[in-house]
């Protein structure tokens, strides 16, 4: 080595084009003389000196080799390197800094091996930006994957966004870039400056593994510590497996945090995580829900995507506060015995310039063939599920929510779009798999691995698939050939029953099967019955607006429908606003219409949902065999003429049976006989026609006595009154 490298090397350093700046800058031993060489690039500096870090003694003043700011000097004949600092003088004064080129490697051989293999499950422990202390010096380590880049640098508010100051070291053929930058602390904003293989300067990129980001519309990543929160939810964690099991009552309140409730007096801003902890959590608990499900809170640039086009899969959105604020929110959920699910989006990502698209100048995260890497519906990009580094990234992004944020489960969005190569594509617009079929075999393998990993590492959590086709075994274990999800949304049930409920009662008799067909396949999967946000957007109107008739009939229809849903096999999910029958379609830019609760009609529906949740949670027959055909028996499913349904719900041995009768016409039915399995008094546990709900208050005086008259395949029977547009529920006392 020489004290001053060639002009070409100096130029490449000053022009931010050198592919291996660590081989030039920092402290090195001259292989020939044994002298220590120190080189540094300090743009704008007039003088630089080397300081012994331990003694504070000035060792040498470096020579200024170029006007751009390249300094170098041979320091005696010392063969042993030492810890040093640089004293830099420029027009702003003199300061002491630690040289980023004077620190050891960040990634070990095991990290490199596991990442290349695609099995580095806690990759977020090393990748991204981590405040840390190395050799007694505080700073932040940065690691990013960009295998086709010719050069990568960290730029931020700590180096005036100058890509010449903190170029990264490339490790191995895997294209991992790393650097430890002294003095950078939590709160610092940063991005990656990347040059492609051809030397093209790309748009500045946010950190794919970033733990925090600036508040939109700003797009920089933010250095953030996420492992310092002092969790106090051990009691919940110990018992959540029983609360999340298939034989538990699971009733989910789906929420978009930005529009649940807003502060109108403060420029209509949304509540933050801590305000939501104080308001949303007590409300959900009071309403009797067992779980919250949040629409995606992974960082995303566009509010109108509702979070379904994320760019930061490791970062809670800064819209509502910090990562620690979100951890506080999760802990408050658990303190209140409320489970928390998150929407997670591995199916696609936006093409925003600061995101994953063409990250290192190539199709790194996305599939290179647009027939496999582009979503025509959403104008977004599709991950390359056949690349191990990409699936490792995705699984780690799922894992971090369960690991660092103690979330209880993930609902995976748009699974059908992942499973089918021809999803929303015409002939010639897709590429068949190796067997000539339309199944995305790479996506199938990824989803199975994802579920196996999460269930193995985080017992007691669960996953949910939004899968809108008849793909077999979505919620079957992978060892049985399934995808391994815990539950699947029952989209068919939702579509059929909402179509039926939107019909005039005069015509319902001709479409009776729309309410019964769901039980033909009702136990093929572990189902959740979803009345989600998708049913109150894009011109569909509100659930209430889809009900026919005058005001009384609309509200009665909705009460009867909710009651049918809560007594039907399957776990429950209801989108916010539905619990009080919001009249208008959901608007993500405005608060829910809480003022409507001043109306008895709306408050009556709210009370119905609250009472249904209580009924569900306190009546084992309604949940113990939710996913088992032995927990359901039709009593009367062919009475299309009167639009009546009657069925039994059965729990484990010793659990009292429950009888449910639904009337979807405005006519009352008196003296209606139904079969029951055992003799005794059947208490009327619930009646959606009660006056406190806004109904006509017809009923059965609290209960009925069975008679020894066999009926509908049962050894006994009871005679009841069935109110108009209502559901009544009886339980053996």
Q: How many CB atoms are located within 10 Å of the residue 20 CB?
A: 12
150 and 91 in a common domain: no
List, for residues 630-657, the tens digit of each pLDDT value.
Answer: 999 999 999 999 999 999 999 999 999 9
List, for residues 146-160, the tens digit of each pLDDT value.
Answer: 999 999 999 999 999
552 and 495 in a common domain: yes
Q: Stretch 161-188: mean pLDDT, rounded?
A: 93
Give how far Cα 270 sits from Cα of 156, 321, 473, 595, Å.
29, 11, 40, 17
pLDDT of residue 36: 86
Question: The domain that contains 120 carries what CATH number?
Answer: 2.60.40.10
Confidence bin at 79 (pLDDT 50/70/90): low
pLDDT of residue 121: 87
pLDDT of residue 510: 97
Question: The domain that contains 565 carries what CATH number?
Answer: 3.20.20.80
Which DSSP helix (H) or strand (E) runs through 399? helix 388-403
Provide the percentage of residues in the chain whose pLDDT is more than 70.
Answer: 99
pLDDT of residue 4: 72
Say if residue 462 is preceded by a cis peptide, omega within 30 of 0: no
Nearest residue to 313 (alpha-carbon basis) of 256, 391, 419, 260: 391
Range of the domain at 90: 7-99
- In 146-203, DSSP assigns E strands to 151-156, 169-171, 176-182, 189-195
Q: How many CB atoms are located within 10 Å of the residue 432 CB?
A: 11
Q: Stretch 474-493: mean pLDDT, rounded?
A: 97
The single residue listed with the structure tokens 């291996």 is: 20
d(CA 604, CA 601): 5
Q: Stretch 201-230: mean pLDDT, rounded?
A: 97
List, for residues 420-459, the tens digit of each pLDDT value.
Answer: 999 999 999 999 999 999 999 999 999 999 999 999 999 9
What's the distance, Cα to Cα, between the start and end of the chain in Å? 91
d(CA 672, CA 66): 98
d(CA 423, CA 416): 8
d(CA 577, CA 586): 8
Structure tokens at 490: 């029952």
Rg (CA), the chain: 31
Contact 104, 135 (CB under 8 A): yes
Position 620 pLDDT exceeds 80: yes
Q: Which of 53-62, 288-297, 720-729 has the lowest mean pLDDT?
A: 53-62
Q: Out of 99, 118, 151, pick the residue that ends a domain.
A: 99
Nearest residue to 643 (alpha-carbon basis) of 511, 509, 468: 509
d(CA 97, CA 49): 11
| 3-class state of residue 689 by DSSP | coil
Position 145 pLDDT exceeds 70: yes
Q: Stretch 188-212: mean pLDDT, rounded?
A: 97
645 and 616 in a common domain: no
Structure tokens at 371: 């027939």
pLDDT of residue 35: 81
Structure tokens at 661: 């009768």
Supply the DSSP string of 233-264, one letter for each residue: -HHHHHHHHHHSSTTS--EEEEE-TTTSSEEG
Structure tokens at 138: 């505080």
95 and 113 in a common domain: no
The pairing of strands 380-381 and 312-316 is: unpaired
In a domain, 51, yes or no: yes
d(CA 227, CA 23): 34
Mean pLDDT, the chain, rounded, equals: 96
714 and 587 in a common domain: no
Q: What is the pTM of this model?
A: 0.95
Contact 376, 425 (CB under 8 A): yes
d(CA 492, CA 486): 18
The single residue listed with the structure tokens 């065999």 is: 625
Contact 711, 718 (CB under 8 A): no
Confidence bin at 661 (pLDDT 50/70/90): very high
Question: The domain that contains 645 carries what CATH number?
Answer: 2.60.40.1180
Q: How many CB atoms are located within 10 Å of the residue 534 CB?
A: 17
Give how far Cα 588 sits from Cα of 301, 367, 397, Å.
15, 31, 26
147 and 94 in a common domain: no
In a domain, 468, yes or no: yes
d(CA 154, CA 157): 10
413 and 529 in a common domain: yes
Nearest residue to 122 (alpha-carbon basis) of 365, 397, 327: 397
In a domain, 244, yes or no: no
**What residues have CB less than 8 Å from 596, skipping those under 6 apart?**
580, 581, 582, 583, 602
Position 31 pLDDT exceeds 80: no
Nearest residue to 542 (alpha-carbon basis) of 531, 530, 552, 553: 531
Q: Stretch 664-686: mean pLDDT, rounded?
A: 97
305 and 196 in a common domain: no
pLDDT of residue 2: 56
In a domain, 370, yes or no: no
Q: Stretch 285-292: mean pLDDT, rounded?
A: 98
Confidence bin at 78 (pLDDT 50/70/90): low
In a domain, 234, yes or no: no
Indicate which residues carry an active-site annotation: 413, 466
d(CA 494, CA 15): 60
pLDDT of residue 1: 45
Domain count of the chain? Answer: 4
d(CA 600, CA 623): 30
661 and 544 in a common domain: no
Give how far Cα 313 sits from Cα of 298, 397, 415, 527, Å.
5, 6, 17, 27
d(CA 301, CA 284): 28
Provide the percentage of residues in the chain whose pLDDT is more than 90.
Answer: 94
Which DSSP helix (H) or strand (E) runs through 634? strand 632-636
549 and 425 in a common domain: yes
**What residues have CB less than 8 Å from 24, skipping those under 6 apart?**
5, 9, 13, 18, 39
573 and 476 in a common domain: yes
List, for residues 546-581, the tens digit of each pLDDT value.
Answer: 999 999 999 999 999 999 999 999 999 999 999 999
Q: 160 burial class (0-12, 13-18, 19+ CB within 10 angstroms)?
A: exposed
List, for residues 352-386, the tens digit of each pLDDT value.
Answer: 999 999 999 999 999 999 999 999 999 999 999 99
d(CA 99, CA 95): 12
d(CA 387, CA 111): 17
d(CA 217, CA 550): 45
Position 217 pLDDT exceeds 60: yes
Assign residue 680 a region (left: φ > 0; alpha: ψ between -120 and 50; beta: otherwise): left
d(CA 406, CA 212): 17
Position 460 pLDDT exceeds 60: yes
Position 346 pLDDT exceeds 60: yes
Contact 305, 589 (CB under 8 A): no
In a domain, 689, yes or no: yes
Q: Out of 590, 620, 650, pick the residue that ends a domain.
A: 620
In a domain, 577, yes or no: yes
544 and 578 in a common domain: yes
In a domain, 512, yes or no: yes
Q: Out of 582, 601, 620, pick the residue that ends a domain.
A: 620
């Amino acid at each position: 080595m020489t004290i001053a490298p060639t002009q070409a090397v100096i130029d490449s350093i000053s022009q931010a084009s050198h592919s291996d700046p660590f081989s030039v800058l920092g402290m090195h031993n001259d292989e020939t003389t044994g002298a220590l060489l120190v080189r540094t690039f300090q743009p704008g500096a007039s003088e630089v000196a080397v300081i012994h870090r331990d003694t504070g003694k000035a060792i040498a003043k470096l020579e200024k080799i170029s006007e751009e700011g390249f300094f170098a000097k041979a320091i005696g004949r010392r063969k042993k390197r030492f810890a040093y600092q640089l004293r830099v003088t420029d027009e702003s004064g003199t300061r002491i800094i630690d040289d980023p080129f004077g620190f050891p490697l960040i990634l070990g051989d095991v990290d490199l091996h596991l990442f290349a293999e695609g099995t580095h499950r806690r990759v977020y422990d090393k990748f991204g930006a981590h405040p840390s202390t190395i050799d007694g010096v505080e700073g932040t380590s940065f690691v990013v994957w960009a295998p086709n880049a010719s050069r990568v640098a960290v730029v931020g508010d700590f180096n005036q966004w100058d890509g010449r100051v903190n170029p990264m070291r490339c490790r191995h053929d895997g294209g991992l870039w790393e650097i430890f930058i002294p003095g950078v602390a939590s709160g610092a904003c940063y991005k990656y400056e990347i040059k492609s293989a051809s030397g093209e300067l790309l748009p500045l990129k946010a950190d794919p593994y970033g733990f925090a980001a600036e508040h939109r519309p700003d797009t920089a990543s933010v250095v953030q510590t996420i492992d310092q929160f002092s969790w106090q939810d051990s009691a919940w964690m110990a018992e959540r497996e029983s609360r999340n099991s298939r034989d538990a009552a699971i009733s989910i309140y789906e929420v978009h945090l930005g529009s649940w409730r807003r502060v109108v007096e403060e420029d209509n801003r949304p509540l933050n995580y801590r305000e939501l902890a104080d308001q949303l959590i007590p409300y959900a608990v009071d309403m009797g829900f067992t779980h919250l499900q949040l629409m995606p809170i992974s960082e995303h640039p566009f509010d109108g995507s509702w979070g379904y086009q994320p760019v930061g899969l490791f970062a809670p959105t800064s819209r509502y506060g910090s990562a620690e604020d979100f951890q506080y929110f999760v802990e408050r959920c658990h303190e209140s015995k409320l489970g928390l699910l998150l929407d997670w989006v591995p199916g696609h990502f936006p093409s925003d310039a600061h995101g994953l698209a063409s990250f290192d100048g190539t199709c790194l995260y996305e599939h290179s063939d647009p027939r496999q890497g582009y979503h025509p519906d959403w104008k977004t990009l599709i991950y390359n599920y056949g690349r191990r580094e990409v699936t490792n990234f995705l699984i780690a992004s799922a894992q971090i929510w369960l690991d660092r944020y103690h979330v209880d489960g993930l609902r995976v969005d748009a699974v059908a779009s992942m499973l089918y190569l021809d999803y929303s594509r015409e002939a010639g617009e897709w590429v068949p798999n190796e067997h000539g079929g339309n199944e995305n075999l790479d996506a199938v393998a990824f989803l199975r691995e994802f579920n196996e990993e999460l269930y193995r590492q985080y017992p007691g959590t669960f996953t949910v698939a939004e899968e809108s086709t008849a793909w077999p075994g979505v919620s079957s274990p992978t060892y049985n050939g399934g995808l391994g999800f815990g539950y699947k949304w029952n989209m068919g049930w939702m579509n059929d029953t909402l179509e039926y409920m939107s019909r005039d009662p005069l015509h319902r008799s001709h479409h009776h099967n729309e309410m019964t067909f769901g039980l033909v396949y009702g136990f093929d999967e572990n189902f959740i019955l979803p009345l989600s946000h998708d049913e109150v957007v894009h011109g569909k109107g509100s659930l209430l607006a889809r009900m026919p008739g005058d005001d009384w009939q609309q509200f009665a229809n909705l009460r009867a429908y909710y009651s049918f849903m809560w007594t039907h096999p399957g776990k429950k999910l209801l989108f916010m606003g539905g619990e009080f029958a919001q009249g208008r379609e959901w608007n993500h830019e405005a608060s829910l219409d809480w003022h409507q609760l001043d109306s008895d009609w709306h408050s009556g529906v709210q009370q119905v949902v609250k009472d249904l949740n209580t009924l569900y949670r306190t009546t084992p027959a309604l949940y113990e065999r939710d996913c088992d055909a032995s927990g359901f028996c039709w009593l009367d499913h062919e009475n299309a003429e009167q639009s009546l349904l009657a069925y039994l719900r059965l729990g484990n041995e010793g659990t009292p049976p429950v009888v449910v009768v639904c009337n979807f016409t405005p006519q009352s039915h008196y003296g209606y006989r139904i079969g029951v399995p055992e003799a005794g008094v059947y208490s009327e546990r619930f009646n959606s026609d009660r006056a406190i709900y806004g109904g006509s208050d017809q009923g059965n005086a609290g209960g009925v006595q069975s008679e020894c008259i066999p009926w509908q395949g049962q050894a006994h029977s009871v005679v009841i009154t069935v109110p108009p547009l209502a559901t009544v529920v009886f339980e053996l006392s």
